[in-house]
Amino acid sequence: MSERLQKEKELFRAGDRVKLTFGVLVCTILAAFILVVAAFTVIPITHYYIPSAAIFHPFKFWGAAHNASDFITHVDYLPQVPAIACMTVILGRRYSIVAILLYLITGFFFIPVFSLGGGIKYIFQYGFGYILGFIPMVLILGKILNNNFKPKRVFWASLLAVFSLHIFGIIYLVLLCAIKHEPFDYVQDLLYMMSYVKIFYDLGFTVICVYLANAIRKILWLSMD
């Protein structure tokens, strides 16, 4: 292996000081494309859960009769958060954010690549804050991992990164609902749909994808030997 290639590999492993080469540019564009694919890839998941009414209106809910089907729900999961985790590990923070910006620019001005459409008016969608939350997720995940893939570090990095995304999304959603004067029950339903159980799925898939992406990154470099 040449000395130049060895140096580039060390820079890549450092996380954020990756040189802009043709290969990195292609990977960045590909990462943006994967975000588009993930936005339209629906993974149906069925699981037991506690209905929102049991939390927000406990006396009314538990005072009525229920059967097992009342505690089963179906979630349409979009794997964009795991995709963000993968690109962060493989590309580092800098080029991951570039990929996210490419995704946003494409959705705003060119093609409706967001899950519910596109155009600059998409900023008024209640879920848009979760897309903006990709950026703090990348920054936190990359910063805490810092090329350390020990189980404890991966778990805490994933936990804080996923929580930062959802906190950002929740704040954006609540502020937008306040501007539109949406009723409180409607806000609760939106939060229940966009966060709640999905936080746990995001966390689980993120942990898995961090390890998967680390393996892919090593294979990419072996292929260049």
Which alpha helices (DSSP H) does 71-150 contain, by range? 80-91, 93-109, 128-132, 134-145
Q: pLDDT tens digits, residue range 77-91?
A: 999 999 999 999 988
- If one counts every other C-beta atom within 10 angstroms of the C-beta of residue 162, the result is 27
Half-sphere exposure in the Cβ direction for 82 (13 Å, CA): 21
Torsion of CA 33, 166, 177, 184, to 10 degrees: 140
Tell me how long the chain is: 225
pLDDT at position 148 over 50: yes
Q: What is the pTM of this model?
A: 0.83
List the one residue out of 114, 112, 139 whose CA is nearest residue 129.
Answer: 114
Domains of the chain, earliest start first: 3-50+78-222 (1.10.1760.20)
Q: pLDDT tens digits, residue range 162-220?
A: 999 999 999 999 999 999 999 988 888 888 889 988 999 999 999 999 999 998 887 77
The span from the CA of 110 to the CA of 33, in Å, is: 14
pLDDT at position 19 over 70: no
Structure tokens at 86: 């993968």
The whole-number pLDDT of residue 128 equals 95
The whole-number pLDDT of residue 65 equals 77
